Amino acid sequence: MTALRFDTYDWSGGREAMLRFGPDAGPIVIAALPLFEEANRTRQFLVTILRELADHGVGSVLPDLPGTGESIVVTSEARPRDQRKAYTELSQQLGRNTYGISIRSGALFDTDSVLAGRWQLSAQTGEDVLRELDRARVASRSARASDTDYAGNTLSREMLADLRDATLNAGKAPIRVVRLESDPRDADVKYAASPLWRRSEPDNDTVLAHILADDISHWIASCER
C-alpha cells in the first residue's frame, strides 16, 4: 500500500494518532515536526515531503507525540521526556532500518532512540528553542500571565527545564545535516529557500519539498548499501 493511511500507535503512556505514507516494506522513516507554532507552519510542507518519499518507494510515519497535533495531552501538560519516550517506543515497534527525519526542534525527539540514521533540517538545540520563544514573547508585546506563558503557549516548568538541557543526538548512526543558504551554521548541504517556519501563516514549498525528498531518498539508499 502506498496511499496515505490514518493509524494509531501505542506507547506506555497511552495511544496517539499517526499518518502512514508509502510502502510498509523496506526502510521506514519517522518524521518529526518542530515544537509549538512552527509545527502548524510546516506540517503541510512535511506531508508533501512524505508523499514525495512514497513516490520514491520509501515508507514513512508522521506521529502525533504527547502534547502535539491531535494528542489528547494538552500543551501545558506536555513533557519532553514523554515525547522522547513515545518516539522511542514507536521506533522500536517499527524495527530495524528506521530513519528519523526532522524539522527544526523535531530533532530533539529522537535523542533516546536507536535509529539507522538521522536527517535533520535546520536542527535546533533546546536553548535555541527557548531563545525563539523569548523573541516571540517580546514580539507579541502582550503582558505575560506568568513565567511559563510564551506568546499564547502555556508551558510546564518541566518542559522549560528540559529544553534548557536538551541537545542533539551525537551517536554513531549516520547524520545528515541540511540547512538553508541563509543559515551560517555548518551543514552537509544547503539549499536556497525561504524558511517556512518564519512565516506568519502555514504555507508550503512544493519545489523545496521535491528537492528534499530526493535528498532523503538518496541518502537512505546510501546508508542501506
| DSSP codes joined into one string, 75-87 | GGG--HHHHHHHH
Task: Please report where in the chains the cell 519545489 appears, as a residue.
Answer: 207
Q: Please give the pLDDT value at position 45.
A: 98
Q: Supply the pLDDT for residue 225.
A: 86
Question: Grid coordinates representing 195?
Answer: 524558511
Determine the pLDDT at residue 140: 65
With cell 513516490, the residue in question is: 55
From the list 83, 98, 61, the residue with the least C-alpha distance to 14 is 83
Cell (9 digits) for 222: 546510501
Return the pLDDT at 72.
Answer: 87
Say what the pLDDT of residue 86 is. 97
Q: Given this model, what pLDDT does residue 152 score?
A: 66
- Rounded distance between C-alpha atoms, residue 133 and residue 127, angstroms: 10
pLDDT of residue 138: 72
Lowest-confidence region among 66-70, 141-145, 200-204: 141-145
What is the per-residue DSSP string for 121-158? ES---HHHHHHHHHHHHHHHT---SSTTEETTEE--HH
Q: What does pTM read for this prediction?
A: 0.92
Rg of the chain on CA atoms, in Å: 17
Decide if 119 contacts 176 (C-beta within 8 A).
yes
pLDDT tens digits for range 161-171 = 889 989 998 77
pLDDT in the model for residue 76: 80
The band of 199, judged by pLDDT with boundaries at 50, 70 and 90, is very high
The class of domain 5-125+171-218 in CATH terms is alpha beta
Q: What is the pLDDT confidence band of residue 192, given thresholds at 50, 70 and 90? A: very high
Domain segments of the chain: what residues?
5-125+171-218
Q: Residue 112's pLDDT is what? A: 93
Instruction: Give the separation between CA 26 and CA 190, rounded to whole angstroms.
Output: 28
- Give the rounded percent of residues in the chain with a pLDDT score beyond 90: 72
- The Cα 83–Cα 86 span in angstroms is 5
Confidence of residue 82 (pLDDT cuts 50, 70, 90): very high
Q: Is the per-residue pLDDT at 111 higher than 70? A: yes
Query: In sequence order, which ranges of 13-107 are alpha helices (DSSP H)?
Result: 37-55, 80-94
Using alpha carbons only, give the angle 106, 109, 115 rounded to the nearest 5 degrees: 105
Residue 22 banded pLDDT, cuts 50, 70, 90: very high
Cβ–Cβ < 8 Å for 83, 30: no
- Is the model's pLDDT at 2 over the cut of 70? no
